[in-house]
């Protein structure tokens, strides 16, 4: 489908607008030491969202739902991306990093060859709300040195479009503005999009990349010539194409829009560790038990 987009510089013609491939709702689950959250996708969806593995949405004004947190645990072979909307999460890891992730902050952690960390929510007057996304690493980078990126809210640019749409850019490019997270192997885009009621948002994406939207406020239309709306806690997975078109209906709409280059590699997944073969998984857990898991100094 050919789409005409009106921009500040005039009219530009785009190619195929993506259609919806599949839609489903997140499901309640419990993780860590007893944290209640909603899982948008996970193990059961592999490899549908390659290179992404898991997306959890946590949100509650009841400390009992989250205060137990995620005590010390290992990761290998993946990246974890934590985005906090409300509340605070204190963290520490085997690299010596530590601190608090607060409202609007992002933690982009590359586990690589292995890292052990903890994520412990703090009790606050308000609620705790946020997301954790897992992205896979390719086989030749699963044993890379781990690294940690602490992105403060002030480091994340917000682009305000002429029609009132606001886009917070964690990774990727919007209107020529780059997000602070760069040099990631899967070439990801990770943006937080707020669309006013009765307003449309059209955005270019890379052909061949996996693209999904997770709705956490409001409802809207997610493909052209459709009158089927999707509302909060829904995951919209797109088919291939060059752009997405999203329209808010009679209320404001807010969503995560995420994309990345598929790896098309075998996945062997055991809890917090994701490798390519069962033998690699066996070695990882054996090393964790015998104390040789960490390869960095």
Specify the pLDDT at position 296: 82
Angle at 270 between CA 266 and CA 276, to 5 degrees: 20
- The Cβ of residue 188 has, within 10 Å, a number of other Cβ atoms equal to 25
Give yes or no for a contact between 97 and 150, defined as CB atoms under 8 angstroms apart: yes
Quick one: tokens of 168? Answer: 């917070």
CA distance 168 to 251: 20
Listed as own residue / partner, the contacts of 219-223 with beta carbons closer than 8 Å and 24 or more positions apart are 219/248, 219/249, 219/251, 219/253, 220/195, 220/246, 220/247, 220/248, 220/249, 220/253, 221/246, 221/247, 221/249, 222/20, 222/23, 222/246, 223/17, 223/18, 223/19, 223/20
Question: CA separation (Å) from 241 to 8, 53, 94, 202?
Answer: 23, 21, 41, 13
For residue 134, the Cα-to-chain-centroid distance in whole angstroms is 7
* Alpha carbons 206 and 187: distance in angstroms, whole number: 10
Tell me the two tokens of residue 97: 């990093």
Assessment of whether the complete model's pTM goes beyond 0.85:
yes
Q: 3-state DSSP: the chain helix, strand, coil percent, rounded to 5?
A: 10, 55, 40
pLDDT of residue 8: 42
Q: What is the pLDDT at residue 297? A: 66
Domains and CATH numbers, the chain: 26-155 (2.60.120.10), 156-265 (2.60.120.10)
Q: Which two tokens stand for residue 233?
A: 């806690």
pLDDT per residue rounded down to tens, the chain (297 residues):
443 344 444 444 558 999 999 999 999 999 999 999 999 999 999 999 999 999 999 999 999 999 999 999 999 999 999 999 999 999 999 999 999 999 999 999 999 999 999 999 998 777 999 999 999 999 999 999 999 999 999 999 999 999 999 999 999 999 999 999 999 999 999 999 999 999 999 999 999 999 999 999 999 999 998 999 999 999 999 999 999 999 999 999 999 999 999 999 999 999 999 999 999 999 999 999 999 999 986
Task: Give the C-alpha distances (Å, rounded to integers) separating 186 from 36, 161, 204, 210, 267.
Answer: 30, 27, 17, 10, 16
């Amino acid at each position: 489908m050919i789409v005409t987009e009106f921009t500040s510089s005039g009219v530009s013609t785009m190619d195929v607008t993506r259609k919806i491939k599949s839609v489903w709702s997140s499901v309640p689950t419990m993780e860590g030491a007893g944290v209640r959250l909603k899982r948008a996708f996970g193990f059961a969806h592999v490899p549908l969202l390659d290179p992404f593995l898991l997306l959890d949405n946590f949100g509650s004004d009841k400390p009992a739902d989250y205060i137990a947190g995620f005590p010390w645990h290992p990761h290998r072979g993946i990246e974890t991306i934590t985005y906090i909307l409300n509340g605070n999460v204190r963290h520490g890891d085997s690299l010596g990093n530590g601190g608090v992730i607060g409202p609007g902050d992002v933690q982009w952690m590359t586990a690589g060859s292995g890292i052990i960390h903890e994520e412990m929510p703090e009790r606050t007057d308000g609620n705790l709300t946020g997301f954790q996304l897992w992205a896979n690493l390719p086989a030749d980078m699963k044993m890379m040195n781990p690294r940690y990126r602490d992105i403060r809210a002030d480091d994340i640019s917000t682009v305000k479009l002429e029609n009132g749409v606001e886009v917070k850019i964690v990774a990727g490019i919007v209107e020529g503005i780059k997000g602070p997270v760069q040099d990631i192997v899967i070439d990801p885009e990770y943006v937080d999009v707020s669309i006013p009621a009765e307003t449309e948002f059209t955005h270019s994406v890379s052909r061949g990349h996996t693209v999904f939207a997770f709705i956490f406020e409001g409802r809207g239309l997610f493909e052209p010539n459709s009158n089927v709306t999707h509302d909060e806690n829904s995951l919209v997975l797109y088919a291939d194409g060059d752009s997405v078109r999203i329209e808010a209906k009679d209320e404001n709409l807010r969503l995560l829009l995420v994309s990345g280059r598929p790896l098309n590699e075998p996945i062997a997944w055991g809890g917090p560790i994701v490798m390519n073969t069962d033998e690699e998984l066996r070695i990882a857990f054996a090393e964790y038990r015998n104390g040789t898991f960490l390869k960095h100094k």
